[in-house]
Amino acid sequence: MSKPYVRAARPDDTEAICLLLHHKMNTRIPIDRWRRLMNYSWLGDKPDYGRVVESNGAILGYCGMVYADRLVGNANRLRSERIVSMSSWYLDKSLRGKGLGRDMLDSAISDPTLTYATLTNSKKPLGIVEALGFQVLEDHRYIWRKTNQTHSGVVISHDVLTITDLITSNQQQLVNDMQGYSLTPLLIELDGQQALLFFSIKQKDANVIWYDLMYASDQELFASCAQTLADQLLPDSPAVLAADGRFVKKPPAEITRERLPVARYYVSNRVKPNEIDHLYSELQLLDLKLD
């Protein structure tokens, strides 16, 4: 009997990983959807598929790593950074208490040139996450609700073809990469400025529809137009428009601030928190709600 060990996940591990995650972690997510953690198309040359714990030839642990090369910085000085969305950390009960779960995460974040983010969290592993050096990426969000206000000046484009004609080539790549996922792109224009936005629109808590901001190319413009967006986009039924606090530099005085159920975490020597959005992550691949 060999000792369990941690190693990089390979293409030939895909089916074993998906079976483990489906049967042991979440049976509500079909095996085909688990495969998306490995077969996403926006990065052809993937370094690996994350980390596994192998024991006697069987895959009994997994830590997913979804890689994406993103442009960050200001519009005049963009640079490419590789950002890793951490996903689906699971270890079989028979191996728990031996330090293997921590070893998986420690191995996964070993490259200091990369940025790592956990956008969906359970409270259970937070102690290990913090012990390994993860810092809080976000712990609150802002909420807008529909009002009876009237607005003028903000132009909102919904049509994808219209949007792609008006945005930069880098932004066009975002639209192309996110096609087929449960995201809604919008383009807003005000006083000669424009911003590309992506929203996740899902029903959550007590039948409330949430318009969660996943990305904004101009966060200041988004914040200044957020109430207009809420008034024009939200249905009359219970609904809110929400954005993580790091996307809203100057929140209006009357805005609702809400603590996240579980904080989001990250590790980076190179990327600022507001440069880490929710695209190119397990949220799209597994079709998850943003808590």
Residue 25: closest CA among 101, 119, 103? 101
| SS3 of residue 164 by DSSP | helix
Domain with CATH 3.40.630.30 in the chain: 5-111
What does the pLDDT read at residue 253? Answer: 85
What does the pLDDT read at residue 89? Answer: 93
Q: What distance separates the 2 farthest-apart alpha carbons in the chain?
A: 71
What does the pLDDT read at residue 1? Answer: 64
Report residues of the chain scoring pLDDT below 50. none
- CA Rg, the chain, in Å? 20
pLDDT digits (tens, 9 = 90+) for 167-213: 999 999 999 999 999 999 999 999 999 999 999 999 998 899 999 99
Q: Taking the model in full, what pTM does it have?
A: 0.95
Which amino acid belongs to residue 101? Answer: G
Provide the β-strand partners of residue 84.
67, 116
Q: Strand pairing of 5-8 and 50-55?
A: antiparallel
Pairwise CA distance, residues 120 & 160, whole Å: 28
Residue 185: closest CA among 214, 219, 209? 214
As given in the structure block, the two tokens for residue 176 are 């192309």
What does the pLDDT read at residue 218? Answer: 96
DSSP state of 111: -
Pick the CATH number of 5-111 from 3.40.50.10680, 3.40.50.10300, 3.40.50.10800, 3.40.630.30: 3.40.630.30
Pairwise CA distance, residues 52 & 46, whole Å: 16
Query: 9 CB contacts (<8 Å, ≥6 apart)?
Result: 17, 38, 48, 49, 50, 51, 52, 62
What does the angle CA 189 – CA 71 – CA 242 come to, to the nearest 5 degrees? 50
Pairwise CA distance, residues 104 & 10, whole Å: 15
What does the pLDDT read at residue 170? Answer: 95
Provide the 10 A C-beta neighbour count for residue 230: 20
Give the neighbor-by-neighbor strand order of the sheet with 184-190: 5-8, 50-55, 58-72, 79-91, 115-118, 256-267, 135-144, 239-244, 208-216, 193-204, 184-190, 155-157
